[in-house]
Amino acid sequence: MIRLRLRRRDLVCQQAVELVTDYLEGALSRTDRRRYETHLAGCPHCTEYLAQIRKTIELTGTLTPDDLTPHMQDEFIALFRQWRDEHPENGASKP
């Protein structure tokens, strides 16, 4: 989970994108949530991004490993390994 402390009164789109997971998980403070929602109210691009993330969560929540072809499984594993290697600060251990 990304924890950014919002220092400015208004969010910019990059901050809104970085905070989307915390927003959806209810992990933002009341003040930060209000700032986030204020940004969404005035930004159709971030509003659409949030809608896309919600839809992705909804759709992927219904996938099972059997729904993926072996090639897709290999691609997901490769993407995870790449992410893990590029973000060791997240504590993902290598198998």
Q: Which amino acid is it at 6?
A: L
Mean per-residue pLDDT over the chain, rounded: 84
How far apart are alpha carbons 44 and 7 in whole angstroms?
23
CA dihedral angle for residue 14, residue 18, residue 19, residue 20, rounded to 10 degrees: 100
More confident residue, 68 or 88: 68
More confident residue, 3 or 30: 30
Q: Which of 16-20, 41-45, 85-89 has the lowest mean pLDDT?
A: 85-89
User: Do 49 and 20 form a contact (C-beta atoms < 8 A)?
Assistant: yes
User: Do 35 and 10 form a contact (C-beta atoms < 8 A)?
Assistant: yes
Q: Is the pLDDT of residue 68 over 90?
A: no
User: Do 13 and 43 form a contact (C-beta atoms < 8 A)?
Assistant: yes
How far apart are alpha carbons 83 and 78 in whole angstroms?
9
Candidates 1.10.10.10, 1.10.569.10, 1.10.600.10, 1.10.10.1320; CATH matching 13-87: 1.10.10.1320
- 25-64: per-residue pLDDT in tens? 999 999 999 999 999 999 999 999 999 999 988 888 887 8
Helices (H), the chain: 13-18, 20-25, 30-42, 44-60, 70-86
pLDDT confidence bin for 5, thresholds 50/70/90: low
Q: Is the pLDDT of residue 4 over 60?
A: no
Sequence spans of domains, the chain: 13-87
Q: Is the pLDDT of residue 11 over 70?
A: yes
